[in-house]
Amino acid sequence: MVERILVPLDGSERSERAIPYAVGIALGFGAQVILLRVVESTAKQGSGWLGTQEWRLGRLEAFAYLDRVKRRLTAQGICVDVDVGLGPPAEEILEMARDRRADLIVLTSHGRGGPSPFPLASTAHKVVSGTDISVLMVPSGEDRPDSTRTPFDRILVPLDGSGASEWALRFAAHLHRIHGGELRIVQVVPDPESYCLCGDLRAQQLSQQLARSSREHAKRYLSETSAQLDGQDLTIESEVLTGANVARRLEDAARQAPGAIIVLSSRGASTPSGSRLGTVPAALLSRAQTPVLVLRDGVMFRARARPHHVFGTKSRWRSSDATVPPANGTSGIHA
C-alpha cells in the first residue's frame, strides 16, 4: 500500500515528467503526493547565508512554483503537500523521504542540468544509492503521455515463481484495474549459449535440452499465473523471453511496447542479505533506459492477506489485502 509519494522537482520540464507517474499511483491508492523543491546556495555556510536575501528569494520562488504545480494536481483530485529544502539536493531528498515517511520516491534521471554522458545525473544516482524505500525512475527523455492514455497503460512484470516477484504483480494488477490498458507478465530464461556447455555435439544437445526445458517450465508457470488471475477484471498477456542478460532483455521487451513501465521487486533469492538491490533492478535503475518501478521488500504491503498463496481466485484484490512477502520469497531473476 502506498500512502505518501515524494516527487522532487527542480522547476525544469524534465523533472516534471515524473508527475504523471506519481499521479497514476496516487489515484490508484489514494496516496498523498509531496512535492519537494530544493534550493541550493552559492554562499558559504559560515557566512550566515540562511538568512540572506538569496535564500529568502529562492524560498519564495520555490513555493510559488510548487503552488502552481499543486493547483494542477488538486484539480485532478490528488491530495498534495509542498515543501522546500535548502542544501545539496540528494541529501535533502533523502532526508525529506525519511522525515515525511514516504513509501515511494518518483523522480527523473536528469533535471535542470540536462542530458549528461551518464545514464543518471548525480542527484538521481545518489538518491537511488542512498534510499531504502521504493523508487520509480523515469528517463528524462521519456515523452509525456498523451491525453488518451496514462503512464500505466502498458505494464511489464517479470516473474520467476518467487513470492517477491508475485507481490510486484499484485501491485501492478491493482494499477491495471484502475487504469486499464495492457498487463504483460514475462519470465526470462537462459538461451542454449547461456549454459556454457561447450565442446562436443552431446554437450551442445544437452544445452539445447536444458534451454527447452526451461522455456516449457516457464510457459506453464505463466499460464497458471494468468489462469489464477482470471475473473479479477484483468487482461493479461504472457511471454517467455530468452537471453543471458536479464536486465537488457527486459529493456528490449519494454521498448517493443512504447510507453511501457517495468514493475519488479528489489531483491532476488541470491541477493546478499545486506544488499538493498539485486543486480537486475540496480541495472534497470542505473541505466534508466525505460521507466522502472522497483518495490522494496516490506515497504509497499501490509500484513493483512491470506498467507498461503499470492493470488485469490474468488474475490478482487484490494491494496489493503496485501501482506509482507516471506523473507525467502525473493525473485531469482533479480539476483
CB-neighbour burial class of residue 82 (10 A; exposed 0-12, middle 13-18, buried 19+) = middle
- DSSP codes joined into one string, 157-176: EE--SSHHHHHHHHHHHHHH
- pLDDT given for residue 77 in this prediction: 94
* The CATH number of domain 4-138 is 3.60.15.10: no
Instruction: Tell me which residues of the chain have a pLDDT lower than 70.
Output: 41-52, 113-119, 142-149, 192-204, 231, 268-271, 297-335
- pLDDT given for residue 192 in this prediction: 65
Q: Calculate the average pLDDT of the chain.
A: 80
- pLDDT given for residue 327 in this prediction: 34
Domain ranges of the chain: 4-138, 154-334
Query: Measuring CA to CA, how many Å separate 74 from each of 33, 78, 172?
Result: 10, 5, 24
Bridge-based pairing of strands 292-295 and 134-138 is antiparallel
**For the domain 154-334, what is the CATH code?**
3.40.50.620
Question: Fold identical between 4-138 and 154-334?
Answer: yes
Of residues 137, 51, 121, 110, the one with CA closest to residue 86: 51
Query: Measuring CA to CA, how many Å separate 185 from each of 172, 221, 254, 321, 322?
Result: 10, 11, 11, 21, 19
Task: Tell me how far apart the alpha carbons of residues 36 and 104 are, in angstroms, rounded to a whole number.
Answer: 13
Of residues 147, 153, 161, 145, the one with CA closest to residue 177: 153
- In the beta sheet, which residues pair with residue 135? 105, 294
**Is the overall model pTM greater than 0.85, yes or no?**
no
Query: Measuring CA to CA, how many Å separate 110 from each of 21, 122, 139, 194?
Result: 16, 8, 7, 35
SS3 at position 197: coil
What crossing angle do the helices spanning 19-29 and 53-74 adopt, rounded to 10°? 50
